Copies of this chain bind each other. A is one copy, B any other.
Amino acid sequence: MPKTPVWKSIATALTSEIAAGHYRPGDKLPTESELSARFGVNRHTVRRALQDMQEKGLTHARRGAGVFVLAEATDYPIGKRVRFHQNLEAAGRMPAKRILTLQTRPCDRDEASALQLKSGDPVHVYEGLSLADNVAVALFRSVFPADRFPGLLEDLDHMRSVTRALAAVGVKDYTRASTRLTAKTATATQALQLNIAEGAPILRTVGINVDTDGCPVEYGHTWFVGDRITLVVED
């Protein structure tokens, strides 16, 4: 049972009230003092909750005026689980993978940070191309902690599936802790591998997958060809 901070409970309570229509977009929330009195906490604890909501785009504070509910509240938050490649299969195409590299090497600082390793610890690196109907639609690179999964490379080579290979080494379930999406343009190397023009639009995703204990098991990058791929996010 994870202990929930007080400020988070307050943020949840206020968010629920907004979602329930108790406060509508444009409305002014009670003052920090009123809220701290209502919840029986210090004003700074309320501020921590309001700050969390502001980061999520729910509210917006104006010094001297008050805290207001934003109209965009329900507009943006994108769903919970992202399923890549989904539209490929739905379209009746034949997804395939082509392995580019399978190797074990010392991790760099970036990978160490994401996987909570020490810089230089060994990692398995799985790079490849995703194909649909023999057309390259994405480049991917998955990085795994090698010390924890000694035999993973063979499984990846054999099964050609991250999910199944991880299952083979004891990771029954894993979830995406976070995914960041941004638009880029293709580098020369990427353009060559994906058979597109340099500077063509690329949708890059960076994600960390964690096991049921919250321990990172995979650090993955994917570069989708903008013209050939659309990601689907469903609630």
Knowing A25-B164, A95-B60, A161-B26 are in contact, say whether A79-B179 is a contact too (CB < 8 A): yes
Closest to A109 in B: B26
Stretch of A31-39, A146-154, A199-207 contacting B (4+ beta carbons < 8 Å)? A199-207
Copies of this chain present in the complex amount to 2
Q: Which of A70, A116, A206, A231 has the most CB of B within 10 A?
A: A231
Interface residues of A (CB under 8 A from B): 21, 24-27, 55, 57, 60-62, 68-75, 78-82, 87, 92-95, 108-110, 112-114, 116, 119, 159-164, 167, 172-185, 199-206, 224, 226, 229-235
B residues within 8 A CB of A113? Answer: 25-26, 60, 68-71
A56 closest partner in B (C-beta):
B234
Contact in complex: B24, A233 (CB < 8 Å): no
Instruction: Please pick, from B70, B203, B235, the residue contacting A80 in the complex, using a CB distance under 8 A.
Output: B235
Instruction: Offer 12 A-B interface pairs, CB within 8 angstroms, sorted by A.
Output: A24-B109, A25-B163, A60-B93, A60-B113, A61-B92, A68-B113, A82-B233, A178-B232, A180-B232, A181-B233, A182-B230, A185-B200
